[in-house]
Amino acid sequence: MTPRELPIAGTREILGGALAFKRDQLGFLADGISRHGDLFRFSPLGLTMILANHPDHIQHILVDGEHRYDKDASLFKIVRPVLGEGLIVIADKERWRRQRRMMAPHFTPRTVAGFAENMTGETLSMLERWERRPAGDDGLLDVTDEIGQLALRIVNRSLFSADVSEAAQTFERAFASANGVLGSFFRFPFPPLTWPTPRRRRLRRAIDDMDRFISGVLKQRLGDEEAEGTSPAEPDLLTLLLHSVDDDGHEMDLGQLHHEVLNICVGAFETTTNALSWAFYLLARHPEAEARLHEEVDRVLGGRVPTFDDLPRLEYTRRVIDETLRIYSPAHMTMRHAREEDVIAGYRIPVGSNILINTYLLHRHPEFWHSPETFDPDNFTPERVAERPKHAYVPFGSGPRVCVGKHFALAELVLALSTVARGHRLVLPRDARPVEPEPLVTLHPRGGIQLRLAHR
Ligand code: HEM
């Protein structure tokens, strides 16, 4: 049968929907779904974009027909000036495979188990800092900022044996600035990359600051490696990257090494930060879920600091994390470029199309979630999980390019949340207004999340 042509959204709007998309990216896409269904095309400024919003499509694009798609898509072109050719963005499949194979052993559940003490230790230090804080005029914690520093400390200590305490805040600010600028580039594609507009200058400064942060991490260790006896007892990911050789026997050059470390920091930082910040926010708004979490943490841990071996028994805590990643999926969009013509659900996918997958919308698909806007950790009981197609829920992506840090992130999130929940709660300030998600390159809580620390 000849494939049909895709329905087109935004035809009645100026510039193929580009302005509507710029004004309200999620609203534009949700409206497209309600008018045209789970697969439609739109053409902001002449670009071919296709939204795919059904689990079967996701499975086809990311897993079964993965060889027909790559990352040479407009989203990754936009972030490439920041991330270079590191693991997140690299489009060349052979090079990607080499880099991924080299890094994967550092991210298995067994390796992650070795980082658990570091994850709880850094969380305990954060709690001590919170306790020591002079009571400010409002007593509020900037949770997003605090958790951001925690996430950076954990990833850098675990994988690069680097202490980034001092520099963490600089990185956070630089990333926030870059995320804002790149998010706006994505919503209004794609101004020429050379004009020195104020936004572009802001992006340049942010890139320079992040580069300085990464150079600091590398300097700590490259300096250390030369000074006898100061390199880590166990070889870490940085040791491996430093001494890796490609098929022709060449070591990774400093530029590539820099980008790989940056990709890991960026991949690990904002996603985990947003997930844990949103989890505290959702628990503060849902006392019944918070009470069940406390009951489990008390029963399983009896006041102890959690270990990696406790994870299977911290079932409800994990469900809270899974549900948070559903409602506020931090990496809310990804994209693939069609290397060849394809057919999905009977529709023709033209070669060169940019296929957009938006997990904020996919995770609210009414066919697969009873009450999509409601925070309900029991969406992740084994029975309910078994009722849904696997690709209805993909906060870490799927297929060969699934998040390499998935086990790391899940262990970190459950361990950090249960470590805090043993003795503390984070509560909403009086007159708190709802926090809105802001769809930048990641799904950021607009204005950050501010909560008050309380003892249980
Ligand atoms: C809640 C936390 C996290 C979420 C939601 C998340 C989400 C994702 C998603 C959706 C992808 C796939 C993107 C695509 O298919 O285009 C991805 C890839 C990646 N993530 Fe994560 N991530 C998280 C944590 C981490 C951590 C902790 C690390 C590192 C320690 C990490 C490093 C990476 C890297 C390097 C890639 C690229 C993998 C490849 O293409 O081979 N992420 N992540």
Strands of the sheet containing 450-455, edge to edge, are 140-142, 450-455, 424-427
pLDDT of residue 369: 97
Determine the distance separating the centroid of ligand 1 and the alpha carbon of 286, expressed in angstroms. Answer: 28
Report whether residue 272 contacts ligand 1, using a CB cutoff of 6 Å.
yes
State the closest ligand 1 atom to the C-alpha of 100, by its place in the atom list counted from 1. Answer: 41
CA separation (Å) from 129 to 251, 421, 451?
Answer: 41, 16, 15
Helices assigned H by DSSP within 84-197: 93-103, 109-113, 116-132, 143-160, 168-187
pLDDT of 170 reads 86
Ligand 1 atom nearest to 334, measured from its CA: 16
Which pLDDT does position 48 carry in this prediction?
86
What would the two tokens of residue 86 be?
A: 């590191």
In 3D space, the residue among 420, 431, 450 whose CA is nearest the CA of residue 120 turns out to be: 420
Q: How far is the CA of 273 from the centre of ligand 1 (A)?
A: 13
Count structural domains, the chain: 1
Q: Is 88 in the pocket of ligand 1 (CB under 6 A)?
A: yes
Nearest to 188 by CA among 17, 355, 58, 342: 17
Does residue 9 lie within any of the structural domains?
no
Measuring CA to CA, which residue among 248, 197, 242, 247 is closest to residue 219?
242
Ligand 1 in reach of 380 Cβ (< 6 A)? no
Please indicate whether residue 358, judged by its CB atom, sits closer than 6 Å to ligand 1.
Answer: no
Residue 267 CA to ligand 1 centre (angstroms): 5
Closest Cα to residue 334, out of 14, 89, 10, 159?
A: 89
Kindly give the distance from the C-alpha atom of residue 272 to the centroid of ligand 1, in angstroms, as a whole number.
10
For each successive 10 residues of the chain (456 residues), what is the average pLDDT?
Answer: 90 68 87 96 85 98 96 90 90 91 89 94 96 74 93 91 83 84 70 67 88 87 61 77 74 84 91 97 98 98 97 98 98 96 97 96 97 97 97 98 97 98 95 91 92 93
User: What is the predicted pLDDT for the residue at 195?
Assistant: 65
Give this prediction's pTM. 0.94
CB 336 within 8 A of CB 344: no
384 found inside a domain: yes
* Distance between CA atoms of residues 410 and 164, nearest Å: 22
Tell me the residue range of the domain where 299 lies: 14-455
46 inside domain: yes
CATH number of domain containing 130: 1.10.630.10
Nearest CA to ligand 1 atom 19: 403
What residue owns the CA closest to ligand 1's atom 39?
401
Does any ligand 1 atom lie closer than 6 A to the CB of residue 180? no
Q: Ligand 1: which atom is nearest the Cα of residue 330? A: 5
- Determine, yes or no, domain membership for 5: no
What is the 66 CA–ligand 1 centroid distance (Å)? 17
> Residue 229 has what pLDDT?
44
Decide if 425 is inside a domain.
yes
Does residue 355 belong to any structural domain of this protein? yes
| Any ligand 1 atom below 6 A from CB of 158 | no
